[in-house]
Amino acid sequence: MATTTTITVDATLKARLAELARQAGQEVDEFVEALLRRVADADVRFERGVPAFPRRPGAPTLTVEDVDRLIAGPDA
């Protein structure tokens, strides 16, 4: 039996979700439901309240130098 829950979001998040749903060619409700299902099914843990997802196998690890270079941009 399906149950429903109301989740309250602010206007900025609501607008962003609506835009993402539009880009995906979906209604907002179905888009958000699919998004939340993916998050609920994900292998996620929380570190100090922040979701942390495991690295994909074979994904590169960024060094501090890589991050600094990306932050500085191509003109640095």
The pLDDT tens digits for 5-45 are: 888 999 999 999 999 999 999 999 999 999 988 888 888 88
pLDDT above 80 (res 75): no
For 45-57, what is the mean pLDDT? 85
How many beta carbons lie within 10 A of that of residue 34, not counting itself? Answer: 13
The pLDDT tens digits for 2-12 are: 788 888 999 99
User: How would you label 42-61 residue by residue, b for 16+ Cβ within 10 Å and e otherwise?
Assistant: eeeeeeeeeeeeeeeeeeee
- Residue 5 CB contacts under 8 Å (≥ 6 apart), including other chains: none
Tokens of 20: 């993402």
pLDDT above 80 (res 62): yes
